[in-house]
Amino acid sequence: MKKVILGLSGGVDSAVALALLLEKGYQVEAVFMQNWDSAINNDIKGNPTSKFEKCAQTIDYEDALKVAKKLKVKLTKIDFIKEYWQKVFAYFLAEYQKGRTPNPDILCNNEIKFKSFLEYAFSKDADYIAMGHYARKEERAGVTHLLRGKDNNKDQSYFLSQLTSEQLKRVLFPIGELSKKEVRERAFQQKLAVYDKKDSTGICFIGERDFELFLANYLPAQKGLMKTIDGKVIKEHNGLYNYTIGQRKGLDIGGLKDYPPAPWFVIGKDLSANVLYVGQGYHNEYLYSNNCIVKDVVFRGDKDLENRFFTAKFRYRSEDVKVTLEWLDETTLKVIYPDQERAVTPGQAAAFYEGEVCVGGGFIDQVYFDQERRLY
């Protein structure tokens, strides 16, 4: 029997993934990954602080235990707090200090779930690791490719887009062929305690608390001016890291005497001057771009891009955008999308597709309209 170590998160997806592996005859052990210290948190210098509420991680572990006992599988709790702090959270803060909007879920996959956890599993003589992700994989000409999950509404290939072919070879995605509805039905049939558990949202280390207040514990807010693109001052902002491109909620602008009643949106940032630029209208021209630079690209398979049809996702759940890809160096792509796209944001991930196959992904670095760089 092949030995599989599965990441059991306490949610319904990984619970059903575990059940399916057992049905297929794998020798399975489960691991709960503790990536954040929910009892004693640290400040930016690593000093203990008690400013935060407890994370839902404790509840998740208790639910994972219930599932493991029901399915008679060994569950081990593994501490990846140090690795998460150094490789995910520190990067998360550094990107916000640059005025960007990072995606810690992708970093967690790259550095923790499919690296630190993978190394742990193979130190225990596992043949594979497994996760409850809605994704699939396929071998083509000796290369392991990532495919979209069958459930388009839950497909998570965007979050896995930067995994290497070598990492994917060692991973199983048991629920990739299922819809969310089918997963819940299977969990109910097996009488798993998490069959109706609500899907987790957001980031574990923030949870349900106020995002702005959370960041203020690590990045002291530097208030500055909120201006229109032609330099007119609207009001004061609460720190550039609290805003993202295309944001409307939280600006608290309305009923200004000299402006029409259209809603306001974030359209740019000037980090050096600590200025936040805002403009009116969802389709404000400064929110649109038609090309960008994507760095730290992982690309699986043939890197010859000629005569191939690609699409891209610039954020999770966004529609696919038709793109042309051009290599600038071995890990940097120029991405051209002549139909234009709204709010392509530095720091976010760009995932690239060729039909059902996710060929790779990287991080958005610079955004342009023709030759003019946007103020992002």
Catalytic residues: 108, 204
DSSP codes of every residue in 242-286: G--TT--TT------TTS-SPPEEEEEEETTTTEEEEEESTT-GG
186: helix, coil or strand?
helix
Count other C-beta atoms under 10 Å from residue 103's C-beta: 21
DSSP tag of 111: I
364: helix, coil or strand?
strand
Residue 102 tokens, joined: 């990072």
Distance from C-alpha of 100 to C-alpha of 93, rounded to nearest angstrom:
10
Backbone φ and ψ for 66, nearest 5 degrees, come out as -60, -45
R_g of the chain computed on alpha carbons: 22
Residue 305 to residues 192, 311, 330, 356, 364, Cα–Cα distance (Å): 46, 12, 13, 17, 19
Distance from C-alpha of 304 to C-alpha of 270, rounded to nearest angstrom:
37
284: burial class by Cβ within 10 Å (0-12, 13-18, 19+)?
buried
Residue 215 to residues 28, 210, 242, Cα–Cα distance (Å): 39, 9, 8
Q: Tell me the torsion sign for CA atoms 199, 202, 206, 208.
A: negative
